[in-house]
Amino acid sequence: MNLVDHIWLNGNLGKKDICILDCSWHLPGTNRDGKKEFKEKRIPGAIFFDIDYFSDDQSKYPHMLCGKDSFSKKCSEIGIQNNDHIICYDSIGIFSSARVCWMFEQYGHENVSILNGGLKNWILNNHAIETNDPIKKNKSNYISKKEPSDAVTFEQIKDNINLKKFTLVDARPAGRFEGKDPEPRKELKSGNIEGSLNIPFSTIIDEKTGCLKNDEDILKVFKDKNILDNKELVFSCGSGVAATIVGAAYEKISKKKFKVYDGSWTEWATKNKIFS
């Protein structure tokens, strides 16, 4: 995944081929509404990208990737074009923006980046904020180039417990992974998938700025878990969002693309009847 910083974006605001997406999404129980916050303040020229709306509305699990035709239709509705350089950001720093960047890559969009540190770091550096009514782009004719290919299924995860073809890395906080803290989706118990390892997404994010930590610090996090081997890595979390943050950090230091268990713990716990 490509990162751009606040200086670059500030110097490119208003350019015709720049499409800025506010991808803010918050965990259940946080009493935060990404769309409401977007309407109150945003990076100038941004439009809102609703992760829930852009997911598979036929699935009972949150944030599952939809088919390319559905994704194309929804992108067209908010005016995204195929030749846009898409800049994804969120209000936390790097959180749901990583998921949206990964989504666009899955559908073959050629030029998409994450704003390192998102709105949090943008404000810290005293850049302009827009508070009037957000812009509305004209509808477009966006065409996804391919179906997603890096989403791992429940069956593949189940088979891998014995086959061990890849290492599953869980990005949830340690308390949830260890079964000590509750899940945000209260109907599910916390815990982990057999054989998985835990790298909480917070360990690779700078708390003050919301930016990814430097490569040396990220490398240390992975080395401390002894998972920088030749085996393929697949990333998981609660519903496929935080997984992409740790995946993006891995890609940054390894230059390797990564896969995501799209259903993540929500699907795994539901299908295995791990209920509270």
Is 237 labeled as catalytic in the residue annotation?
Answer: yes
CA-derived radius of gyration, the chain = 18
Output the six-digit token pair for 81.
């074009």
d(CA 117, CA 133): 24
d(CA 149, CA 229): 23
Output the six-digit token pair for 259.
């896969």
CA dihedral 74, 77, 81, 82 (to 10 degrees): 30
Q: Edge-to-edge strand order for the sheet containing 232-236?
A: 151-152, 259-261, 232-236, 166-170, 197-198
Strand partners of residue 166: 232
Out of 88, 101, 211, 237, the active site residue is 237
Within 10 Å of residue 197's Cβ, how many Cβ atoms?
A: 15
- Residue identified by tokens 């088919």 is 67
d(CA 96, CA 90): 6
CA dihedral 102, 107, 108, 110 (to 10 degrees): -60
- Residue identified by tokens 């916390």 is 190
Active site residues: 237
